[in-house]
Amino acid sequence: MLYRTSDRQLILSKYLHNGKLGQRLPQYVSNRLTKGGVQLIWKRHRMPIVETTNLCKSFAGYKAIDGVSLAVETGTIHAIIGPNGAGKTTFFNLLSGFETPTSGTVRFDGREITGLAPHAVAQLGMVRSFQINSIFTHLTVLDNVKVSLEAKTDLPSRFWLPGRATRVLDARARELLADVGLDRERDLLAAQLSYGRKRALELAISLGQNPKVLLLDEPTAGMGTEDVGRIAQLIARVKADRTIVLVEHNLSVVADLSDRITVLQRGRVLVEGTYAEVRADQRVIDAYLGGGAGVHA
Ligand SMILES: Nc1ncnc2c1ncn2[C@@H]1O[C@H](COP(=O)(O)OP(=O)(O)O)[C@@H](O)[C@H]1O
Ligand SMILES: [Mg+2]
């Protein structure tokens, strides 16, 4: 027997229901699965969808990312935390094609994508949540999401034509806005939204691309408690059929959401593990408390 029954239940629960580890399937369900089936599921679940090997990025000789090898497993929420200046945003830029690595490789979904342009990476299915300045502030909230959907559909640019042509996208855009709690603001100009609401719009725009991997760089930064809760819930919900890499400042959000956590420090991986493992690690405690930097994503 390769796995104990309890392991099997955990694996299947996670794979089939995307549940948190710890939720178990009824034993009669897991008992029905053969050893081979479990192995297959385990293998598929464990396959990294994003993988970097010895990734480096220097800015004028300064090593912002210094030999990072990291694997993000399919279907997980993988958090990246670390003090300010640790290289988290640079790492995201390297994954999403906004920066080209000095050396090392990036693989996504079974192929090497090192050096691909951002739009090519996005088209393959890895999308970075765009910064606020990429929101079209002069368009309505609804139209911002429709533009994103339009870009994804590869249709001729019908968006700018009035009437029926864009109505198809309407329903989906409204759905996405409802998901992020912006349904009542949909006819406002994006410029009129508060900071927190702009982040929610940014998330709806990113989800409009229906990415396999969503890269979220501090999605709750600058938000009030209510918005933080809403975004955290949303991230948990959209996890269902995708993988999320999350740079997050708010450690309770990290604790709630993350399957795995990588701590970066000065461009290197300091520690990787579950939240409990990372939190208890003396090197992490030293890096945060010893460095006087406070605990930051
Ligand atoms: N385009 C750039 N040019 C020069 N230095 C940069 C650039 N981008 C980032 N850096 C430097 O790289 C380091 C890591 O930055 P960053 O990735 O933004 O860290 P984090 O997101 O963890 O706070 C910082 O010292 C920052 O000043
Ligand atoms: Mg950053």
pLDDT, tens only, 101-142: 999 999 999 999 999 999 899 889 999 886 556 789 999 999
Which ligand has the minimum distance to the alpha carbon of residue 264?
1
Q: Does the pLDDT at position 21 exceed 50?
A: no
**Is the per-residue pLDDT at 81 higher than 60?**
yes
**Ligand 1: distance of its center to the CA of 128 in Å?**
17
User: Domain ranges in the chain?
Assistant: 5-46, 49-290
Using alpha carbons, list the distances in angstroms from residue 67 to 57, 168, 276: 9, 46, 25
Cα dihedral 192, 198, 201, 207, rounded to 10, equals 160
pLDDT, residue 20, reads 43
For the entire predicted model, the pTM comes to: 0.79
Angstrom CA distances, 58 to 69, 217, 266, stand at: 16, 20, 12
Least confident of 14-18, 210-214, 230-234: 14-18
Q: What is the pLDDT of residue 149?
A: 86
Which tokens hold the place of 10?
Answer: 């955990």
Residue 289 has a pLDDT of: 62
What is the model's pLDDT at position 188?
Answer: 97
Give the distance (Å) from ligand 1 centre to CA of residue 239. 28
Of the candidate ranges 39-48, 141-150, 205-214, the one whose mean pLDDT is the lowest: 39-48
Residue nearest to atom 17 of ligand 1 (CA): 87
Ligand nearest to the Cα of 86, by number: 1
Q: Is the pLDDT reported for residue 89 higher than 60?
A: yes
Token pair of 127 as six digits:
């999308």
71 alpha carbon – ligand 2 mean position (Å): 20
Q: How do residues 128-181 score in pLDDT, each as one tens digit?
A: 886 556 789 999 999 999 988 887 765 555 555 556 556 778 899 999 999 888
Range 190-215 average pLDDT: 90
Is 89's C-beta closer than 6 angstroms to any atom of ligand 1?
A: yes
Q: Please tell me the predicted confidence (pLDDT) of residue 215.
A: 95
Give the residue with greater pLDDT, 95 vs 222: 95
Q: Which ligand ends up closest to the CA of 59? A: 1
Ligand 1 binding pocket includes 134 (Cβ within 6 Å)? no
Percent of the chain with pLDDT over 70: 75
Handedness of CA 7, 8, 9, 11 (dihedral sign): positive
Q: Domain 49-290 classified CATH 3.40.50.300?
A: yes
Q: CA-CA distances (angstroms) from residue 259 to 77, 122, 168, 273?
A: 5, 24, 36, 9
